[in-house]
Structure formats: C-alpha cells, structure tokens
Amino acid sequence: PSFLSRRRKLAFYLDPTSATEALIAQLELASYAMESEIWLGVDHVLQQHNVPAGLIIEPVSSENLEDFLRVFSQAFGGPATEKDGYGDIPPEYLAALRGSLGATQFLPDVAQKHFLGYVEKTPVGCASIHHDRTFAGLYNVGTIPSQRGKGTGTALSLYALNSALNAGVKQAFLQTQPNGSVQRFYEKLGCTQLFEAAIAYKQ
C-alpha cells in the first residue's frame, strides 16, 4: 500500500536463486519488460591507480548533499544510449535519493557512505557504497561530462570499494548493463563477473 500511495511503478528483481523461467514467462504475460544486469564482484583490496592531479575526495554530509545530487544528475542524466546511459533523471528518483542520503541509518548494521570528488573546489564526481560486516554494494559512480576520461571515476570507484574492503567485508558487488563500457571498465580494475540477473518492470 505505501508503495502504491507514492505512485511508484512496481518492479521485480530476478536473480539465479529465483525460479526464473516460469516467473519470467508469467511476468511477460502480464506485460512486464525485462532488463538484464551483470553482477560483478571483488574480494580483495584493489590497487589505487594514479589519482588525477588536484582531485580531492570527501565524504558527503548535509553541507554538500545538494552538490552530490547535482553531480549525480549531470553524470547520469541526458539521452540514453544503446549500451549505457539512463535518460533524464525523474524528479521522483532524485527525491528518493535525497531522502536516502539524508537518513542517518539505512538498515540496522548497514553503513552507507557517499563520496564527492572535487577539483579546485568544484564537485566533479560521485560514488556511494553500502555495506554490513560481510557484503558491500557500490552505487552512484558518475562523473560530470567535462571531467570524463581523466581518471575521476576510477579514483572514486577504488576509494569507495576499498573503504568497505578495508573495513573487513568479504565481498563487494556492483551491477551494470551487460557488454557495456561500464562492465569492461570494472573488469579492468579487477572485478569479475558473478552472474546475470534481470529486472522486470512495467513501462
């Protein structure tokens, strides 16, 4: 009821533990679309590549929360492409992200950490990681268009992943579209493919 009261669209996440064939068939009959995702993982601290000159990474707080949302919008907004890109960010998504970033506790025993990369005091990249004592998930890694190709995303990804791995988690995960540049990027950093999953949603 609370999901519907907020006028959010219903979606299902299907991983290999689901009875995927029968469930997918039923969801497709109900007019759900399927979007594949690749899960990548890493179980050891990664070597920090050369950090771009002048890049400073800081944690997100109430003072720079709006900077984080602005960088996120610039990094992920805009026209979608065939392999990457998400299209314009819906206001509802940004509102939900703002609420989650401002929360003091996401779930019991789960730490949520958000980071901003600055160059000459200008926010240029972002990343988030959530972890308990065993597993971590990497999210929201993005760089504003003018800063791409300079190593900012690499530095933020490694910083966020290693913050969890150094805290003792056994494995860190991330999800991305299959066969895209993001998958290749993280494989070069040292992540390996674990499995393929799917999101079923109504358009």
What integer pLDDT is reported at residue 71 of this predicted model?
Answer: 93
Token pair 């039923």: residue: 26
What integer pLDDT is reported at residue 23 of this predicted model?
Answer: 78
What integer pLDDT is reported at residue 115 of this predicted model?
Answer: 96
* Residue 44 confidence (pLDDT) above 90: yes
Mean predicted confidence (pLDDT) in 23-41: 85
Give bridge partners of residue 38 from the DSSP assignment.
Answer: 176, 196
* Residue 85 confidence (pLDDT) above 60: no
**Strands, DSSP E only, in the chain?**
11-14, 33-42, 55-59, 111-119, 122-131, 135-143, 171-176, 192-201
- What is the distance between the alpha carbons of residues 116 and 72, in angstroms, rounded to a whole number? 10
Task: Identify the residue with better confidence: 139 or 4.
Answer: 139
Structure tokens at 52: 């771009």
Give the pTM: 0.83
Vertex 140: Cα angle to 149 and 157 (nearest 5): 55
Q: How many residues does the chain have?
A: 203
pLDDT tens, residue by residue, 48-81: 877 888 999 999 988 999 999 999 998 988 655 5
Q: Residue 1 — very low, low, confident or very high, per pLDDT cuts 50/70/90? A: very low
* Residue 102 confidence (pLDDT) above 80: no
Candidate ranges 2-11, 25-34, 41-50; pick with highest mean pLDDT? 41-50
Token pair 């730490």: residue: 111
Q: Which is it for the CA torsion 180, 182, 187, 193, positive or negative?
A: negative
CB 161 within 8 A of CB 171: no
**CB contact set of 57 (below 8 Å; sequence gap of 6+):** 115, 116, 117, 118, 155, 156, 159
What integer pLDDT is reported at residue 83 of this predicted model?
Answer: 44
Give bridge partners of residue 12 from the DSSP assignment.
Answer: 200
Q: Residue 5 — very low, low, confident or very high, per pLDDT cuts 50/70/90? A: low
Mean predicted confidence (pLDDT) in 41-50: 90
Q: Residue 25 — very low, low, confident or very high, per pLDDT cuts 50/70/90? A: confident
The DSSP call for residue 81 is: -
Average pLDDT, the chain: 85
Q: Residue 138 — very low, low, confident or very high, per pLDDT cuts 50/70/90? A: very high
